[in-house]
Structure 1
């Protein structure tokens, strides 16, 4: 847009200030009586270069906590894209869903702070398991080492309890986590997940879920499961 040379210097200065407040680029050209004013939109690259937002550390922590509590869904991510890119994003998302469905691939999710375990009818049985005596020791060893090998008798509670040790400790300390457990058979993956969920007095597919070929207990909760049990060949 071009303004006539009849503008005074004060009028041109007013337009410059107005353009600056509106995010437009203004420039005066010419000399003396022939001096005129032009106004244009910022180039995309130029606009991106100046669009910065510096957040305080406290604000960043608050945003991170909010995202962990209410993860952004794939639909919301798509809606944030420019309209010209949404069609491609939807096609890719649809293709990825089909791949995950047929291969049983585990969904990516944002680690979250686990919820507090509920009391259940299995609490007295849990307390009788040998592994419960080593709970604090096991948790500390896991914290101190990247790889830990735990050996115990069948029925000692390794499969059902150790993942819960991690969840309970992360709840206590407010630490986000995701735990993946593998089983050699479909039936074992489903049975263990259902048992752990029952011990925590939860419904399967919330904090506790399973992923096997062609089936997932957490299809609509892919960002919320903190403990997923999967068949070994879909990991």
Structure 2
């Protein structure tokens, strides 16, 4: 596996912060500050307001909006919890608003290990919230090995509580103590967004035209009426090509995990 593919497989990025200009539909894009100037302006403003972070790792222009990314969990949490974002941007002081991510990323997930199946999920949720007040979205992790006990995943958006829980390493559930660990996301499968087969990028695809993700019919000049008949690009099954239920995808995931573990 080359470095580019390995980085994609094992990297799980943090969500972006979106910068929107007020009345963006009436603003000429040429009147907007460059993405780099906007990045510097916002970084300098936040630091002047006492927000200590390492700056943005990446900024992208998407139409007239900007997407700002940070590289680690600590910086992400600082920007999620601060209200010191600027209300203007650029030398001509265009009004802006910043939209924070609404989804809690996997970097804030924890797992309770080996909870007896006899303990109800409501009891587990109650005990978890007594120990970790910001805990949310508790749910079972499905194991293919037929374990008698159950693992539960949940999110902890409060970074201080998250780190304290990881440091302690255990949590009380009922009258027992169970181990608690950081959640490690599954390795990502690389799907070609042109043909929807596994293992290569769209830029390297040999297909002449892009395919519909659902029915795999050709997308010609942006005109396509999907039949909604699902078809898998891997072996023609009656599900979309990226479906987790696909036996081919499951087998590829296992082989991928073995390759990554050997790196």
Greater relative contact order (Cα 8 A, min sep 6): structure 1 or 2? 1
Q: Which structure carries more strand by proportion?
A: 2
Q: Which structure carries more helix by proportion?
A: 1
Which structure's CA Rg is the greater one? 1
TM-score (norm 2): 0.21
TM-score (norm 1): 0.23
